[in-house]
Amino acid sequence: MHRRYNLTHFLLASIVVLSLTPLMVVVEGQARIAFESDRDGHIKNNFFASVIYVMDTDGGNQRNLTNNPGDDRDPSWSPDGKRIAFSSNRNDRGEKRDIYVMDADGGNQRNLSNNDFDDWSPSWSPDGKRIAFVSGRQGTSEIYVIDADGGNLLNLTNHDRSDEDPSWSPDGKRIVFVAIRGGNMDIYVMDANGGNQRNLTNNDRFDEDPSWSPDGKYIAFTSFRNGLGGNRDIYVMDADGGNPRNLTNHPDRDYSPSWSLDSKRIAFVSNRTRDFNPDIYVMDADGGNPRNLTNHPDDDTAPAWLNSPFSVSPSGKKFTMWGRLKQVNR
């Protein structure tokens, strides 16, 4: 009887393991960074056009996802890591852009916003149900939100001055963004329904590119406030706008921060190489240990770190679970 009981448990456990083999939940198992690059050299409307690339977080395995003759920019991961939203002008309406969505391997690219105005800078909500983006469809740049299938369009900011660069708080209750109000460019925050808009930085120099840390404690952003002409640095502040501090403090341009899932590292763009082309860098969250990930002679910009605590690992990769989730062996 005792043996039969153990055998039954063994068979049940085997069935569970086998059923989970094609689809395994992992933590940081597929950490990747999407970015835009013009390294393919194609021209769109007399300008070098970009495509969306993806790479491992150490800079390895860089590959083209969109592979389209249009200009593809602004990648943003879905929370489950299955899809990437981006903007593109591939509809041949001049420089007018739409919001597109594709599978994480570059397949199934489809137009989400599909209108005659300019839409760009998508940002996926933490629950995966909505996408915030910027649109010029009312004459100025405003923050809109749509469902992930393209329905239920809503203007959140509804202001007569420009609002751009949305980034969700990790709990999905707020959106940080850039606003040009009172003659200056500052970092603002609002509730997810557009209410309670307030200035966080309130500085006399331009602040842009806000990115909320996954632990909810900090907001990284780009600022011109160090007074060195057109130079930009990566700053970080507390989520309430307090305690701003310069992380990069470099004479070249550093911009477009994006946090790692554990909030311990920040990817960003810098032109500090001798050929002065922008590359994707990563540094510790305190500004230490900066290193070049892309190191390519063409322009690599707009890093977007896959910040999903649970992603899907295809079968065939090693998986170990001893009381807790562990990383997939890559």
pLDDT digits (tens, 9 = 90+) for 240-269: 999 999 999 998 899 999 999 999 999 999
Give the whole-angstrom CA distance, residue 189 versus residue 198: 6
Domain span at residue 66 reads: 28-309
| 327 domain-assigned | no
Percent above pLDDT 90 for the chain: 68
Distance CA 16, CA 10 (A): 10
The single-letter DSSP state of residue 327 is P
pTM score, whole prediction: 0.84
Nearest to 73 by CA among 306, 308, 307, 303: 303
Specify the pLDDT at position 318: 31
100 assigned to some structural domain: yes
Question: Does 289 fall in a domain?
Answer: yes
Is 90 in contact with 73 (CB distance < 8 Å)?
Answer: no
- Does residue 224 sit within a domain? yes
**pLDDT one-digit tens code per residue, 18-46:** 444 444 333 344 689 999 999 986 666 55
Are 216 and 238 spatial neighbours (Cβ–Cβ below 8 Å)? no
Contact in structure between 288 and 3 (CB atoms under 8 Å): no
Query: Across the 330 residues of the chain, what is the mean pLDDT of every consecutive 10-residue run?
Result: 43 41 42 93 69 96 93 96 96 82 97 92 97 94 96 94 96 97 92 97 94 98 81 96 96 95 97 86 98 94 82 36 30
Residue 280's SS3 state is: strand
Q: In the chain, count of helices (H) and strands (E)?
A: 1, 28
- CA-closest candidate to residue 166, choices 250, 93, 99, 114: 99
Q: Which residue has the tokens 């203007």?
A: 155
What pLDDT was estimated at residue 94?
66
Beginning with the edge strand found earlier in the chain, give each strand of the sheet holding 83-88 in spatial order. Answer: 72-77, 83-88, 98-103, 110-111
Contacts of 18 (CB under 8 A, 6+ apart): none
What is the sign, positive or negative, of the torsion defined by CA atoms of 96, 125, 278, 187? positive
CATH, residue 80: 2.120.10.30
Q: What tokens does 141 get?
A: 């740049």
Locate 263 and state its tokens.
């909030």
Nearest-10 Cα torsion for 130, 131, 137, 143: 100
Q: C-alpha distances in angstroms, 227 versus 184, 205, 207, 209, 250?
A: 15, 8, 13, 18, 12
Quote the number of domains for the chain: 1
Bridge-based pairing of strands 63-64 and 51-56 is antiparallel
pLDDT at 206: 93
Inside any domain, residue 12: no
In this prediction, residue 324 carries a pLDDT of: 27
Supply the pLDDT for residue 135. Answer: 96
Question: In sequence order, what are the beta bridge partners of 211?
Answer: 220
Residue type at 125?
S
Q: Give the pLDDT confidence score for residue 1 in this predicted structure.
A: 44
Q: How far apart are the first and last CA of the chain?
A: 43
Task: Tell me how far CA of residue 28 lies from CA of 41, 57, 76, 78, 326, in angstroms.
Answer: 33, 11, 17, 15, 8
Among 229, 274, 277, smallest CA distance to 48 is for 277
Please tell me the distance from the alpha carbon of residue 167 to that of residue 126, in angstroms, as a whole number. 10
Q: What's the alpha-carbon Rg for the chain, to the nearest Å?
A: 21
Both structure tokens of 179: 């606003």
Within-domain flag for 326: no
Q: Looking at residue 69, what is its pLDDT?
A: 87
